[in-house]
Amino acid sequence: MVTRSTRNLILLGATGSIGRSTLAVLRAHPEAFRLTGIAAYSSVSVLLEICREFSPKRVCLVDPGAAERFQSQVDDSSIEILSGQSGLTELAAAADADIVVNAVVGAAGLRASLATVAAGIPLALANKESLVAGGPLFQEAIAVGKPPILPIDSEHSALWQVLNGERRESIRRILLTASGGPFRQLPTDAFADITVEEALAHPTWQMGPKITVDSATLVNKGLEVIEAVNLFQVPIDAIEIVVHPQSIIHSMIEFVDSSIVAQLSRPTMVLPIRYALFWPDRVPGDDGRIDWNELRSLTFEPPDWERFPALGLAVEVARRGGTAPAIYNAANETAVAAFLERSIGFIEIPRIIERTLEASTLVDHPSLDDILTADATARETARRGMEKVKW
Ligand code: NDP
Ligand code: MG
């Protein structure tokens, strides 16, 4: 392995599930990275703890009230405190950053991802909503590979690892695996009674609440299809979803000669995070190691498109392009927040996405402004749609 000097790393979404796993990787490799900046929405006490352990120079709390509370509690007066979306994008493009990890949840991370790419800084991307909503805006960077966009999402990390050294023309199909979520075998007539607690109990992954609900509706797989189309520049018809409940195979590529190559590990996000941070090197680590004496069977089945209508909607919006994916994503974020607040039922989530798409006007070759407007309008449309349902 080539020895590299210590690199400055910025971690957006430091207080979340991916943020915590990223900190675990940094803790294990203190010689490799210096954490110079962190951001979150409003989790003051967790950010204070991270400051005590890692001494970053800059901290952003997007919520201005939380930034004030942080300022009044922090011991180290040399820390620069930023706030708002502008603070987040400023941190995401920090002049001395060697790599930025975007682990913010939702389209709230879009402008930060764009700022990192525009500054020419390698972007380790967990925030899939960036690529879904802003797909057209990333195409140039993706086409030239500079700065690199290093996927953290486990399926896309798998595809990236499998593609190492292969030609794009050699791809016949991407086989995107899906756990199927907690309701894979639940009878359709029981979907109306799904509780928040049941939706938050994922069988194989421990994640933040929004992506956990997305995994239960299969919206997450829908977002990942769009993410794969954008990242690997393949047509939507070249992507097949394979339900694989054990979450051991993280995705596969079928090449034109009919060879299929897969990436496997036990489900853990530490492995794809570490791969993204150290790429193109591989560093030793046991997280995710498979015990072949214990592993008995890997099973596969096709997705149930009827039971999970949000999946088909995602394929439609991927095909439609323009602002359609941004609208799908914004409607879903709004519906999931309402479901988590217990104001709508689980089965309303795909209905709200569908109704919002139907009520929206699409823009074909969107600018950032077009995408931000589509996002804001879709949230409003989705909210109004939910109010009507309550009446
Ligand atoms: P969490 O909910 O655990 O964490 C979200 C993070 O984003 C927190 O740090 C939160 O700060 C911050 N945040 C929330 N809203 C905003 C905002 N408006 N502006 C800035 N920061 C904000 O989410 P996860 O870690 O589970 O997921 C993060 C991203 O990674 C998502 O895009 C998800 O799809 C993706 N991902 C996650 C996986 C996982 O295993 N968890 C796997 C693959 C992808 P605060 O604490 O202050 O609210
Ligand atoms: Mg994933």
**How high is the mean pLDDT of the chain?**
96
What is the percentage of the chain residues whose pLDDT exceeds 70? Answer: 98
Mutate to test the pocket of ligand 1, among 43, 47, 82, 104 (most ligand atoms within 8 A of CB): 104
What 3-state DSSP class applies to 381?
helix
Contact present, 364 and 322 (Cβ < 8 Å): yes
CA of 154 to the centre of ligand 2 (A): 5
State the Cα–Cα distance between residues 37 and 22, nearest whole angstrom: 13
Q: Ligand 1 atom closest to Cα of 108?
A: 18
Strand partners, 61: 40, 83
- Alpha carbons within 13 angstroms on the beta-carbon side of residue 241 total 26
Ligand 1, atom 42, lies closest to the CA of: 153
Q: Ligand 1 atom closest to Cα of 212?
A: 26
Cα radius of gyration rounded to whole Å, the chain: 20
| Residues flanking ligand 1, CB < 6 Å | 13-19, 40-43, 62, 88, 103-105, 108, 126-129, 153, 205, 207-208, 210-211, 269
| pLDDT band per the 50, 70, 90 thresholds, residue 390 | low
226-247: pLDDT as tens digits: 999 999 999 999 999 999 999 9
Single pTM value for the model: 0.98
State the Cα–Cα distance between residues 342 and 326, nearest whole angstrom: 24
Q: Which of 60, 61, 54 is nearest to 33 (CA)?
A: 54
In Å, how far from its chain's centre is CA 198?
22
What is the percentage of the chain residues whose pLDDT exceeds 90? Answer: 95
CA of 153 to the centre of ligand 2 (A): 5
Q: Ligand 1 atom closest to Cα of 88?
A: 20
